[in-house]
Structure 1
């Protein structure tokens, strides 16, 4: 589960950096990367939710 948390943190940092570039400097390519990172983050968070539920049951 620690590996999953590290992946979530890395994906969030990528999203944060690209979103700031898009919002602050109007970088359209950064916006595309931010949207892609948000989709990846969504998948990782769903995996975390599953793992967390399994850990709490056991």
Structure 2
């Protein structure tokens, strides 16, 4: 579970960086990367929810 949390943290940082570049400087490529990171983050968070529920039942 710790490595999953670390992956989530990395994805969040990537999203924050790219979203900030898009918002502040109008960088279109950064916007694309931010959207891609948000999709990856969504997958990781769903996996975390599933893992967390399994752990709480045990």
State the TM-score, normalized to the length of structure 1: 1.00
**Partner residue, 1:55:** 55
**Partner residue, 1:38:** 38
- For residues 7 and 29 of structure 2, what CA distance do their matches in structure 1 show? 22
Unmatched runs of 5 consecutive residues or more in structure 2: none
Alignment of 1:11 onto 2:11: yes
> After the TM superposition, which parts of structure 1 deviate over 2 Å for at least 4 consecutive aligned residues?
none
Cα RMSD between the aligned structures?
Answer: 0.2
The size of the alignment, in residue pairs, is 58
Unmatched runs of 5 consecutive residues or more in structure 1: none
Tell me the CA shift for residue 42 of structure 1.
0.1
